[in-house]
Amino acid sequence: MHRLDERCQYTYIVGIDVASATLQLSLLMPTLQQYRAWEVCNQQSGFEQILQLLLCEGATPQNCIFCLEATGVYSERVCQYLHSQGFRVACEAPQKVQRAMHKSYKNDQIDAAQIAEYAWRYFDQLHWWTPRSATAERLRALGNARELFLQQKRAAHNMQQALARKVVDCAEAEAALGCMQQFLQQQMQQLQQQMQEIVQQDQQLKAAHELLMSVPGVGSLLSIQILLLQQTLPQMQPRVVASYLGICPHAHQSGSTVLRPPRSRRSGPSISRRLLYLAAMCLCRNLPRFRDYIKAKTLQGKPKRLLLNNIANKLIRLICAVLNSGLAFDPNFMAAPRAA
């Protein structure tokens, strides 16, 4: 069944504008072009109230879908609850909805109505929400905590360097910052060890982790981030992954007057993007092939940041090839010749 034909079986579209404390709902009935608006609290009692309101309107999991913007932890619980009740829930990027439904006036009720209308008009482009596994959630939480400690460690190091350059020395402050860095380093090591233990306990993740570790430049942290990315993008296609991570150059031109060089948006998971950048730098230092590539292109006037971005894209292609084939990286691999 075509997705636009599938849309006809849903007579109710619910758009949700998510806030930290409240949920603004807009129930769209496309055939009647009518809306119903409600506001409930963003907690268990509010979720149950949603079902009661829908029941009064005759909406069921068979004829009703939900659509909301991805707002991180604020939208996770309502998505989990509605999914457990049998409803299909679409979770869309906020910028996609804003680009499609641009209006000069704004409030929560209008936003909810726009989200419902977006779901109806762009039904064939909706991304249906599915709950992540408990293992993936634990790995993600540990990775985010390690990233926070890393940022704090960098801030402490920078302050320590600044204090060392001051005219008046303050040994006490420098010592305190040094102790803080040691503590944060220990916590980061413990978190990384816990992530590795979780991966080793899951046979499927362990096998994929070993495949990824065979790719040059891929370390334990980057491998775990790729495993988490695989939960979001089950079909690991290089172009899709690069675009999702924000390192895929996109054209910006129109006619003969609007013409800009292709640029990467730098949107998406910042942890994975940073680790890919570090892996690209590692390849440039340790592998003659990439080192010669950097030298040759630098002599042509290419900026180093662009070259590292190209190497990161090449690394993504290697990662996707290893995961999709189920075979470890082979430096002597030769692709089969194409048929004439």
What does the pLDDT look like over 272-292, one tens digit per residue? 989 999 999 999 998 898 999
Provide the mean pLDDT of the chain: 87
- pLDDT surpassing 50 at residue 197: yes
The per-residue pLDDT for 246 is 84
For residue 144, name the pLDDT band (cuts at 50, 70, 90).
Answer: very high
Q: Whole-model pTM?
A: 0.79
Helix segments in the chain, DSSP class H: 3-7, 44-57, 73-84, 94-100, 108-121, 134-164, 171-201, 203-213, 220-232, 238-245, 270-286, 288-299, 304-325
The per-residue pLDDT for 268 is 73
Half-sphere exposure of 60 (CA within 13 A, CB side): 3
The per-residue pLDDT for 61 is 92
CB 113, CB 101: distance < 8 Å: no
- pLDDT surpassing 60 at residue 210: yes
The per-residue pLDDT for 251 is 62
**Reduced to 3 states, what is the DSSP secondary structure of residue 64?**
strand
The per-residue pLDDT for 334 is 63
Q: Which whole-number Å values give the CA distances from 9 to 31, 32, 52, 54, 63, in the listed order? A: 11, 15, 21, 17, 6
Q: Mean pLDDT over residues 155-177, rounded?
A: 91
Q: Mean pLDDT over residues 173-189, rounded?
A: 95
For residue 222, name the pLDDT band (cuts at 50, 70, 90).
Answer: very high
| Tens digit of each residue's pLDDT (9 = 90 or more) over 302-319 | 888 888 889 999 999 999
Of 7-21, 54-68, 200-214, 243-257, minimum mean pLDDT range: 243-257
For residue 257, name the pLDDT band (cuts at 50, 70, 90).
Answer: low
The per-residue pLDDT for 169 is 85
Q: Mean pLDDT over residues 96-121, rounded?
A: 83
Helix 220-232 and helix 270-286: axis angle, to 10°?
140
Q: Are strands 22-29 and 12-18 parallel, antiparallel or unpaired?
A: antiparallel
Name 271's Cβ contacts closer than 8 Å, sequence gap at least 6: 143, 144, 147, 225
Name 279's Cβ contacts closer than 8 Å, sequence gap at least 6: 217, 218, 219, 222, 312, 315
The residue assigned the tokens 């009647």 is 32
Q: Tell me what percent of the residues of the chain surpass a pLDDT of 70.
A: 89
Q: Which whole-number Å values give the CA distances from 285 to 116, 291, 300, 312, in the listed order? A: 51, 6, 20, 14
The per-residue pLDDT for 256 is 63
The per-residue pLDDT for 1 is 47
Of 6-20, 90-104, 226-240, minimum mean pLDDT range: 90-104
Measured distance CA(325)–CA(242) in Å, rounded: 19
The per-residue pLDDT for 33 is 74
- pLDDT surpassing 70 at residue 103: no
For residue 127, name the pLDDT band (cuts at 50, 70, 90).
Answer: confident
